[in-house]
Structure formats: structure tokens, C-alpha cells
A and B are shown apart, each in its own frame.
Chain A
Amino acid sequence: AQSVTQLGSHVSVSEGALVLLRCNYSSSVPPYLFWYVQYPNQGLQLLLKYTSAATLVKGINGFEAEFKKSETSFHLTKPSAHMSDAAEYFCAVSVSGTASKLTFGTGTRLQVTL
């Protein structure tokens, strides 16, 4: 079975600073990896996903993530944080042949301060 670990339940950055949200996965077969964002009182929205093509994946709102097989990581970054980035971020994994069922991490709440 696959799993995801997100290090840090809360991350606080200053506006304009680098955003780094960590995600490590465990899977015995090649994984598909996702980052979703949840704004307050809303559903989840896809930021980006890795599906075995390019290891550096670019998503919406200036976010990107790099798949590193040797480190079993899929960390999310953004060069310059904006106040509107404040939200909860979830890393998730699925594998082929399982009806695309997602296993989610516990989430990281990003706070952006002035």
C-alpha cells in the first residue's frame, strides 16, 4: 500500500519569501503524485501532478514540484509567496490499476505574513 508524509502541519513565510512544502511518499510501484490546495470553506483544487513524464512539474499560481525517486520526495515550491497563497496544501499519491484512488497526506497549512 502507498502512503504520504507531509512534514510540518503549519508553515509560516513572509510575503515575497520562498515557499517550500515537503512531501515524501512510499510506494512499491511507480506512483502518480499530486498537490491539491484547499482555500477556507472550499473543496480541493489541483495545483499540479506528476504522471511519469517530466520530473519537474509546473502548476498553477507559480507553484512547481520536483519528483525525486532516489529521495522518494515530491516537494512543492514557489519562489515568492503572495498573501493569496494562504491555504491548506495536500500531497497525495495514487498508483495504476486502483481506480485512481488517492491516499492523502495530513496537510500543511501555509500562513503568509506581511
Chain B
Amino acid sequence: NAGVTQTPKFRVLKTGQSMTLLCAQDMNHEYMYWYRQDPGMGLRLIHYSVGEGTTAKGEVPDGYNVSRLKKQNFLLGLESAAPSQTSVYFCASSSPLGGGETQYFGPGTRLLVL
């Protein structure tokens, strides 16, 4: 049982390049989330999904797109990377229980945009 895994662990991009971050979970969770973590700002929600084929915007969605074609996978895309997107990206998942669900986090992807 691997929990939540993220690919890649680290990536360097040039401004304007594109990339996709992959999140996979093996806990059969309905809900999945993408956060970014920046120094002094905690974690901020980028996009989330409440089920296969559905996505919704979080607090800081601009410059990102997501897709949830399979229940176990949640992809985060950067179409044209900018230096402001240099951050650590975390994926999380949870199972709906009517409130107060625990989110389980992946190990993170460190992204540097030059």
C-alpha cells in the first residue's frame, strides 16, 4: 500500500515550457487535491476533484489545469511555466465521511522555473 505518490520528485523548467505532474493514490479515495507550498505562506489549494471526471478551482488556480480521467490519478498541468510557479507541489486525497475527513499527502514535487 503506497498511499499517495507523486511523479517527478524534482524538475527544472525554463520559462514558457510545459509539464505535467502526476499524482496517484491506491486508497480508493473519491477526493483529490493539489496544493502549492511557498515559504511563509503555508499550503494553498490550486485545484481539487470530488470524483472521476470532475474538477474544481481552489484558491490559486491561475496558470494551472487539471484532469481526473481515472479515480486513482490526478494530473496537474502547467501550460506555460513562469518563475512565480517555482514552488513545492503536494497532492492529497481523502474519502468523504460527511465532514472532517483526513487528507493524506504525497511526498511533494519540487519545481524550479528559471
Contacts and interface: CB of A to CB of B under 8 A. Distances in A.
A42 interface: yes
A43 B88 CA distance: 10
Contacts of B96: 99-100
Q: Which of A34, A99, A107 has the most CB of B within 10 A?
A: A99
Interface residues of A, number: 28
What's the interface size class on B, roughly? 20 to 34
Nearest to B103: A102
Contacts, number: 68
Contacts of A94: 99-101
A104 B40 contact: no
A90 B42 contact: yes
Contacts of B17: none
A21 to B, nearest CB: 14
Contact of A49 (B33, B90, B102): B102
Given A43-B105, A51-B100, A94-B100, A100 B31 contact: yes
Contact of A32 (B4, B33, B45, B100): B100
Contacts of A97: 99
Contacts of B99: 32, 51, 94-97, 100
A43 B106 contact: yes
Contact of B44 (A95, A96, A104): A104
A59 B62 CA distance: 36
A34 B45 CA distance: 16
B77 interface: no
Contact of A99 (B31, B41, B42, B104): B31
Interface of B: 4, 31, 33, 40-45, 48, 50, 56, 58, 90, 92, 94, 96, 98-108
16 contacts: A36-B105, A43-B4, A43-B105, A44-B90, A44-B105, A45-B105, A49-B102, A51-B100, A94-B99, A95-B99, A97-B99, A100-B103, A101-B58, A104-B42, A104-B43, A107-B42
